[in-house]
Amino acid sequence: MRGYESFVTNVRKQVFTEVARLAYEGGDYARMEEIPYKIVPGEIASHRESIFLERAIAGERVRLAMGLPLRPITELRPLSEGVNDSAIAEKYYDPPLINIIQYACHACPTKQVRVTDCCQGCLSRSCQQVCPKDAIRFERGGKSVIDQDKCIKCGKCADACPYHAIIKMERPCVAACGMDAIGSDEYGRAKINYDKCVSCGMCLVSCPFGAIVDKGQIFQLIHAIKKGYKVIAIVAPAFVGQFGDKLTPEKLTAAMKILGFDSVVEVAVGADLCTIDEAKEYLERVEKGKSYMGTSCCPAWISMVDICYPDQSDHISMTLTPMVLTARMVKKQHPDAKVCFIGPCAAKKLEASREHIRSDVDFVLTFEELQGMFEAKEVWYADVVGNDPLEQGSADGRGFAVSGGVAAAVQHVVKELAPDVDMKIMNAEGLRDCRKMMALAKAGKLNGYLLEGMACPGGCVAGAGTIRPIQRATSLIAGYKKEAPLQSATQSQFAEIADSLD
């Protein structure tokens, strides 16, 4: 369950903490060989077949957290291979971003429909009645049995069973992947088709065995800080409440300075600029004959459109994302600074690695990874002294963190700019629903609409790098919007410079 501690989330937390600690302490980085023994102490395995397997998996997670590639299973290579080349102040992601640790994969059963022990052998036999392939028979005692060779996994029997004794079973990673990008290798383990993958990270947070991992930049970021670079953190609106009640927005800047950051800027500022640009673009494009327009904020949604609906790509807004707009604004003010985006999203790592954005965003960390830095530096939130509220972003910009927030913000500004325009909006969350929405748009059924797509069900607060339960985070964002000193994006003091950032 998302947002609750488990063995998998605890291991992730320990890995990020140890990698951050290694970077802060410096010295001989070959000692990273010791980290798996710190994460998995003792002699007896707790969760897998052997303690050696547990440590091997922990070791690969450490490598990926440092931006290093997985080691081949078939070759003997030290855990620390390549670490000195990675101990630098600037390093972009080497593909792939999302990785499967093969020997951590459980090789879960593929999609099946199964009869459980709850079958009562009832006389109505409704499961058999609705089966379109005659795949259900009854054995002695009246228990139903499904012939897997005949079954087409439609699930009609499961819906018809009055005892809910039939279940549809699917690999969690496959069920979570809205791009149908996950298949199986020759051993039945999950395998990613990178031609389809958009790096949303939903498989990563859905795997109950923690076998799917994204690469990180914690190691390089801390090296940049230690080498004396001015590193400015730009923090996504979804940060509210991610680190618990004791790290309030007013304390965030002080806490970040303990880690070595120079200052903090809220990405809600860039969201405001994005809102204004998209509102103007909607009025120009849709009112001048373009059938509909899609928002540009979620990189995984944009990649999905490019892959699945390439002939519709020109309907997506040309406006830069809030991350990029904020980063460009910061670098315009501080040309010598490095910018680190901190947010909930795995796909932002991929976005920042693109050639036309690399000069804007130097590092991308998730909230989970930032938490590892706090742990490594032993920052106790209750003891942080600071009262520096983030007040530059509006309620519109802060609302980008939740599903529907982008479209609502743009609609708000359109009403301000053109009160007579009847702007219709639709939003979809999760890439399967996004694909359905695009199918309707392509068919001409959403003309005049602004379409908002979010790869993560729930929006950015449900991103792969979040920590808190989604409903709780959504509620906190609603409160944070109400507290905003500005309600509309048009009230932003930076509205006039938006054009200069393109």
Give the β-pairing of 293-294 and 263-266: unpaired
Asked, for residue 174, whether it belongs to a domain, the answer is: no
Instruction: Give the residue with greater pLDDT, 1 vs 473.
Output: 473
98: left (phi over 0), alpha (psi -120 to 50) or beta: beta
- Locate the DSSP E strands across 9-115: 98-100, 112-115
Angle subtended by helix axes 7-25 and 367-376, to nearest 10: 60
Q: pLDDT averaged over the chain?
A: 94
Asked if 490 and 382 sit in the same domain, the reply is: yes
CB atoms within 10 A of CB 431: 28
Asked if 163 and 271 sit in the same domain, the reply is: no
Q: Give the pLDDT band of residue 308 (cuts 50, 70, 90).
A: very high
Asked if 248 and 215 sit in the same domain, the reply is: no
Condensed to tens digits (0 to 9), the pLDDT of residues 447-461 reads 999 999 999 999 999
Half-sphere exposure of 470 (CA within 13 A, CB side): 15
Give the count of domains, the chain. Answer: 3
Q: Which residues contact 383 (CB under 8 A, 6 or more apart)?
A: none
Q: How many whole angstroms separate alpha carbon 144 and alpha carbon 128?
A: 8
Asked, for residue 502, whether it belongs to a domain, the answer is: no
Backbone phi and psi for residue 313, each to the nearest 5 degrees, phi listed first: -60, -30
Over residues 259-278, mean pLDDT: 97
Asked, for residue 456, whether it belongs to a domain, the answer is: yes
Instruction: Give the residue with greater pLDDT, 92 vs 316.
Output: 316
Q: Which of 335, 361, 301 lies closest to 92 in space, CA to CA? A: 361
Asked if 97 and 120 sit in the same domain, the reply is: no
In contact, 446 and 427? CB cutoff 8 Å: no
Asked if 235 and 89 sit in the same domain, the reply is: no
Asked, for residue 2, whether it belongs to a domain, the answer is: no
Q: Which of 493, 300, 308, 486 lies closest to 409 in space, CA to CA? A: 486
pTM for the complete prediction?
Answer: 0.94
Asked if 367 and 295 sit in the same domain, the reply is: yes
Tokens of 290: 């373009």
Asked if 321 and 332 sit in the same domain, the reply is: yes
Asked if 254 and 364 sit in the same domain, the reply is: yes
Condensed to tens digits (0 to 9), the pLDDT of residues 162-210 reads 999 999 999 999 999 999 999 999 999 999 999 999 999 999 999 999 9
CATH number for the domain spanning 372: value is 3.40.950.10
Asked if 310 and 376 sit in the same domain, the reply is: yes
Condensed to tens digits (0 to 9), the pLDDT of residues 48-80 reads 999 999 999 999 999 999 999 999 999 999 999
In contact, 149 and 164? CB cutoff 8 Å: no
pLDDT attached to residue 502: 67
Asked if 149 and 280 sit in the same domain, the reply is: no
Q: Give the pLDDT band of residue 4 (cuts 50, 70, 90).
A: confident
Condensed to tens digits (0 to 9), the pLDDT of residues 100-145 reads 999 999 999 889 999 999 999 999 999 999 999 999 999 878 899 9
Residue 91 scores a pLDDT above 80: no
What counts of helices (H) and strands (E) characterise the chain?
A: 19, 15
In contact, 473 and 238? CB cutoff 8 Å: yes
Alpha helix segments (H runs only) across 40-164: 51-65, 83-86, 126-130, 156-160
pLDDT attached to residue 1: 61
Asked, for residue 284, whether it belongs to a domain, the answer is: yes
Q: How many whole angstroms separate alpha carbon 450 and alpha carbon 453?
A: 10
Last residue of a domain, one of 158, 193, 219: 219
Asked if 162 and 58 sit in the same domain, the reply is: no
Beta-bridge partner residues of 342:
235, 365
Asked, for residue 159, whether it belongs to a domain, the answer is: yes
Asked, for residue 1, whether it belongs to a domain, the answer is: no
Range of the structural domain that residue 320 is part of? 220-495
CATH number for the domain spanning 133: value is 3.30.70.20
Asked if 213 and 259 sit in the same domain, the reply is: no
Asked, for residue 203, whether it belongs to a domain, the answer is: yes
pLDDT attached to residue 5: 87
- DSSP classification of residue 410: H
